[in-house]
Structure formats: C-alpha cells, structure tokens
Chain A
C-alpha cells in the first residue's frame, strides 16, 4: 500500500524520515521513540488522540523543533547538521505549511498572502502574484484575490492557505488539522482540493488529523499514542 501511489522515483526511496524521535517539554515526554518515513508524493495521515504527540512529530519532521534525540533526514540529509539559516531556507523552498487557522497575514490581501513565500525568496511582485493567482484558481478561490483574510469564510481562508503552501512547488506539505475549524462540507472541500493539487504537483503530504474522514484522503495512516508511532501493515 502506498508504494504504487508514491509518485515517481524508486518505490522504496524515502523523501523524509524520522527515526527514534524523542522530545520532552519539561518532564513530560511528547515524543518517546517515534518514527515515520514518507516517500515522494505520498500522502500520510498522522492520527491519534489529543496530546499524543502528533503536532510535535510534525514539527520535528519539518525542522521547526529539534528533537532531544533521534534523527530527521530530508532527501538523505540530516536536518541537525544544517545551520539554522540552511534549515530556514529548506523550509521556505521545499516545505509548505497549512495549520488549523490564523496563518494568513491579516494586513495583506489574499493574493499577497499566497505570493508571500515567493516574495521572500526574491521573486518580483508581478510574477509572484501571477503564480499566486494560478494556484488560487486551482483551489477555486481566485476571485478572492483582493480581499483580506478577515473578509473571507473559514473554508475559503483554508483554501487560500493551501494555495500559499503550494506556491513554491514544495516537495512536502505539512498540514496540521487543516480542517479542524471547519464544518463537514467545507472540510471535505479543503481535503479534496488539497489532495488533488498535491498529487498534481507531486508533493508529499504529512497530514495530522484526529478525524477518520479526513484521514481517509491519505494513502496510509500512522497512529501516535503516548509519543510512540504504531504502523499497521494489513494483509491485502
């Protein structure tokens, strides 16, 4: 399972891997030996109860949080061996992020928000906004370009956020409860478009969710409980 949907590249190629990850905040372990391997283009759901360590795992894999021990590799490269600056550059160019809410800059218009990652990488305004509008069209929100995030609905805002995550053509999208603040219909629409556009562009998705209907958009699931991952290989 998963291998045949894993985009191009050798079936066993690992794009992003975390091994033996441990991380404590104070005395409570958030991760206690978690592991995850993501192949190119693969959509993996991280499931588990609240407080089990899902977000911490995502943050470690994305190089936002450094694990106390264990290694994270992206394209074979150990993230801990990069400088802070190299890690930020990697996050900006190779990773895209979608969170539950509150990730859009309220003072900027939607198209400026989507164009922002390109602008930060030095792309000129006109070109960045043109690319941004293309992505917004694929997320069915191109008509919202000039609106501010405060003027659009929750579902529209999340689709703008997905467009922004994809605009740099990243290799991995990290989505932490992207539908957590939405009703069923809007949640479904965000998932449908997120998965379709990620597949089109060959991006892998690491999707944190505690909802089975959202996880059902993934190729496979990994369950986190008490900071440990459990993976099940079902016999076909």
Chain B
C-alpha cells in the first residue's frame, strides 16, 4: 500500500495539518495499523520535495506539527494516475484496493474505473494461469488452480464492492 498516495488523496479534499492527516487516515484506512507520526512527517517531506504538496500557511506557535499542507496540480495528477493503475494481482491486495476506492469516491472520481482496471489486471493474470495449466502436468494444474481460486476470491470481493459503491459513497460523504 502506498501511504504517500493515500495521504495525497486525502489532501485533495482540502489542506490539512500533519496530525489531522494522521487522524483521518487512521479512521478510514488504519484499522489495525495506525500511522506513526514520524511516518506521516517523513512522507510529507518527501511529497514536498517532489512538488506534490506545498505548505499552505503555518499556525502561530511554530513547530513542524503546525504546518498545513495542500496538494499541488502535480499531486492531483499523481493521485489520478495511481487510482487507475491496477495493483499487481496477488493475495491480500484488498487494503490497497479499498483505499483507492474510498479515495476515488471522496474526490468525486469514477470509482468504478478503479475496479474495472483491477478486474482487467486480475483476468489477465488468470488467463496466463489458464494457459499454463493447459500445457502443464497435474502438478502445474494444481498450483495454477490454487492461484486461480485466490484471484477469483479477490474478484468476488471486487464485484460485491462494485455493487455497493452507491452505499459506500454515502458513507464516505459523512
């Protein structure tokens, strides 16, 4: 999961302080793994260096936690590209995909497209496995079938999520 992209995505809804970003991230995506402050600030300084965010005002009192960050145009483009670049099909991708879907909804983008490109990437991997299975021996078949069933499970989750996008959009709005 790319934390940098997730933070950028959150910044798209408006400038935020570092601590505020951490709070929203943990709430939405952090479930069992909240971000460390250090990680937030090191990520933000990398994004700053790369021109994807800029400082937008410092509250009186000073100190790094007082800085507010805003996304730049380059940052918005970066988020948009990331959202429609499918994750590598592998087991346990859900958290990355979930994050993308929520951020797409939050920023008013086409969340279905996020799911569509992922489905395509999965099916492409599955086609490769089917081809390999047909040329291989029984061992190959069993190995490929194992992978095929796992990718299929991802896709079932993806279809269920696609069917619930309306519902999820409402929840994200709150």
Contacts and interface: CB of A to CB of B under 8 A. Distances in A.
B86 A216 contact: no
Interface string A149-163: 000000000000000
B152 A230 contact: no
A28 B155 CA distance: 28
Contacts of A218: 127
A113 to B, nearest CB: 28
Contacts of B169: none
A212 interface: yes
Q: Which 3 A-B pairs have the closest CB atoms?
A: A216-B126, A212-B155, A232-B120
B89 to A, nearest CB: 11
A225 interface: yes
Contact of B116 (A49, A210, A213, A223): A223
B151 interface: yes
Given A213-B148, A213-B152, A216-B148, A221 B120 contact: yes
A52 to B, nearest CB: 10
B22 interface: no
Q: For chain B, what secondary structure do more than half of its interface residues adopt (helix, strand, loop), or is it mixed?
A: helix
A234 interface: yes
Contacts of A216: 123, 126-127, 129-130, 148
Given A221-B123, A234-B86, A212 B116 contact: no
B94 interface: no
Given A49-B163, A192-B134, A225-B162, A215 B123 contact: yes
A217 interface: yes
Interface string B107-128: 0000010001101111110110
B65 interface: no
Contact of B119 (A211, A213, A217, A232): A232
B119 A223 contact: yes
B133 to A, nearest CB: 9
Contacts of B151: 212
Interface string A120-160: 00000000000000000000000000000000000000000
B97 to A, nearest CB: 15
Interface residues on A, range: 10 to 19
Contacts, number: 47
Given A212-B151, A213-B148, A230 B126 contact: no
11 contacts: A49-B159, A212-B122, A212-B156, A216-B127, A217-B127, A218-B127, A221-B120, A223-B116, A225-B162, A232-B117, A232-B119
Nearest to A235: B85
Interface in A218-236: 218, 221, 223, 225, 230, 232, 234
Pick the most buried of B112, B129, B159: most chain A CB atoms within 10 A of its CB.
B159
A96 B41 CA distance: 62
Contacts of B152: 211-213
Given A49-B163, A192-B134, A216-B129, A234 B148 contact: no
Contacts of B123: 212, 215-216, 221
B70 to A, nearest CB: 30
Nearest to A221: B123
Contacts of B86: 234
B126 A234 contact: no
B73 to A, nearest CB: 23
Interface in A31-85: 47, 49
Given A192-B134, A225-B162, A234-B86, A212 B126 contact: yes
Given A192-B134, A212-B123, A230 B116 contact: yes
Contacts of A210: 159
Contacts of B162: 49, 225
Contacts of B134: 192
A234 B120 contact: yes
